[in-house]
Amino acid sequence: MDYQQFIQEQTSAIRQEVGGGLAINALSGGVDSSVVTVLAHRALGAQLKTIFVDNALMREGEPQRVVQAFASLGIPVELIDARRAFLDALKGLTDPEQKRQAITDTFYKEVLAGAVKRSGAKFLLHGTILTDIEETVAGIKRQHNILVQLGINTEEAYGYKVIEPLQTLRKDGVREVARCLGLPGLIVRRIPFPGPALAARVVGEVTEAKLATVRAATAIVEEELAGSGAFQYFAALLNDCATGIRDGKREFGQIIVVRCIDSADAREAAVRELPWETLHRLTRRLTTLPGVNRCLYDLTPKPPATVEYV
């Protein structure tokens, strides 16, 4: 594929669709939404409003880091603090699809709808990619950003039209476009991070305490595996406990799973054979987290497992 041509075509398609109106997009800092932000900014300039929603489910320092990175690209991003709304919506939920649904509803019906209304935008630019559409339509997993393909009329339901410039690309194609757009290497190579964010890595009810644990674990895993070159790596927190020993006393502690996979586009994934030394170091560091006394390495490819836990 000629990615420069793709950029030109999509930029003029966005311009044509939006006309003299206003558009809005939500940036997560991942490569998909980053590419959409830059494409749409090129096409629309001041007619585009970009927001970053802090949903309480992001990684350490992520909201500020993303806003700063785009400010240095000359793209202003408004940070919206919606932490309470998401935490309240997730309260008491344990079923994975209900959790995803609660995040989708809070994001689209509450936070984004409010932001769109305040801005007067009639268009929403979305970073949906082909894999998201295929897996949702196949009923494997409801990706939080799929609306139109599930028959949802966004103009009726939410008051805006959705534009999805990346819907013919997979992750590898999106990275090529990011490179052609001159996005910083840190964004181009950024490992995938799911829309439901850390909630996709907390099995069972999502609480602030569990988020704090998985957030700290994620920081350790990302630091240790940054140089691995793997497609994706992260920590997940199980909903079970196991007996252990801390300071000579019995502790019924939490269990962290480390996952590290190789993949081209996340449709299939193979487990990376990490050196034992790395696994031991991860275990040592992860079990220093309060309440965590067990660390497992996930050896399951996709399929039969999915990449995320929820």
Residues that bind ligand XMP (CB under 6 A): 135, 141, 143-145, 192, 194-196, 200, 232, 266, 302, 306-308
- Compute the least distance from the CB of residue 107 to ligand XMP, in Å: 11
DSSP, collapsed to helix, strand or coil, labels residue 163 as: strand
CB 145 within 8 A of CB 33: no
- Compute the least distance from the CB of residue 47 to ligand XMP, in Å: 25
- Compute the least distance from the CB of residue 278 to ligand XMP, in Å: 21
- Compute the least distance from the CB of residue 170 to ligand XMP, in Å: 11
The CA distance from 89 to 273, in Å, is: 38
Dihedral sign, CA of 110, 111, 115, 116? Answer: negative
Give 41 or 126: the residue with its C-beta nearer to ligand XMP.
126
Give 80 or 310: the residue with its C-beta nearer to ligand XMP.
310
CB 212 within 8 A of CB 239: no
**Identity at 23, one-letter amino acid code:** A
CA distances from 268 to 136, 200, 219, 221, 301 (A): 15, 18, 25, 22, 8
Dihedral sign, CA of 195, 68, 185, 299? Answer: negative
Position closest to ligand XMP via CB = 195
- Compute the least distance from the CB of residue 310 to ligand XMP, in Å: 8
- Compute the least distance from the CB of residue 143 to ligand XMP, in Å: 4
Give 122 or 267: the residue with its C-beta nearer to ligand XMP.
267
How would you classify the pairing of strands 249-262 and 232-246?
A: antiparallel
First-residue to last-residue Cα distance in the chain: 34
Give 194 or 253: the residue with its C-beta nearer to ligand XMP.
194
Give 144 or 210: the residue with its C-beta nearer to ligand XMP.
144
- Compute the least distance from the CB of residue 276 to ligand XMP, in Å: 26
The CA distance from 28 to 37, in Å, is: 10
CB 234 within 8 A of CB 224: no
Give 281 or 302: the residue with its C-beta nearer to ligand XMP.
302
CB 160 within 8 A of CB 108: no
CA distances from 277 to 47, 216, 218, 281 (A): 52, 21, 19, 6
The closest alpha carbon to 100, from 164, 63, 139, 145, belongs to 145
Give 267 or 285: the residue with its C-beta nearer to ligand XMP.
267
Give 54 or 308: the residue with its C-beta nearer to ligand XMP.
308
- Compute the least distance from the CB of residue 144 to ligand XMP, in Å: 4
